[in-house]
Amino acid sequence: MNFTKLKTRISLNLFFSSLNGFYRYYFETRRRKFGYIDKTAYVRFPIRTKEPENIYLYENCHIMGGALISAAKAKFIMKKNSGAAEGLTVITTTHPAFIGEWFMEKGNNNEYAEAKDIIVEEDVWIATNVTLLMGAHIGRGAIIGAGAVIRKKIPPYAIVVGNPAKIVGFKFTPTEIIEHEERLYPLDKRLTINVLENNYNKHFISRIQEIKEYLKQ
């Protein structure tokens, strides 16, 4: 290796080492502003946040790079062992329109914005470029497909895709969920077979033909 190439490689290594050091310092400074972030939670750069004091990330949460979490006037809560791939967008507010008022003068002002918490329960996987809008509540163990837009409550262990989001299946059958939760949760935290079967029948069995037609599109 000639001297010029060696010098270039050393310079690049020093640059990236310095950059990583800056990122670590920046993130450690930022994470102190969060409402709560567990020491085992992992957030990869780049990430943009608004009102980070309303962001709560619990044990073993992972959020990959490119996330935008705008938690203005309401909370974003991600519970333990849940994760999101690159490009997560979280918006806890919406902006109302007023008759006789320019939108950019009033509707775009957070003073008038509506807001609702966004909650991600335990054991959830959120794929790439998902958007969670105000009031979204993702049930335990759910899987959210790439590019989905979530505006409402998603039942536990549901598989959801699309915009608007649609339930297209469940990660496990009710009996498999019972076995799964026996291994992971204390008795008082487990979902009952009645709840699981009702969700499975309502959101999947009774809609199989509708789901097949939707997935053909």
CA-to-CA dists, residue 174 to 140, 151, 192, angstroms: 13, 25, 9
- Global pTM value: 0.85
Q: Where are the domains of the chain?
A: 1-32, 35-216
Question: Could you read off the pLDDT tens digit of each residue along the chain, which spans 217 residues?
Answer: 565 655 566 566 666 565 555 555 555 546 778 999 999 999 998 899 999 999 999 999 999 999 999 999 999 999 999 999 999 999 999 888 888 888 777 656 666 678 999 999 999 999 999 999 999 999 999 999 999 999 999 999 999 999 999 999 999 999 999 999 999 999 999 999 999 999 999 999 999 999 999 998 8
In CATH, which superfamily holds the domain spanning 35-216? Hexapeptide repeat proteins (2.160.10.10)
Residue 4 exposed, middle or buried by CB count within 10 Å (0-12, 13-18, 19+): exposed
3-state DSSP assignment of residue 32: coil
Q: What angle do CA 148, 131, 140 make, to 5 degrees?
A: 75
Q: Say if CB 107 and CB 98 are below 8 A apart.
A: yes
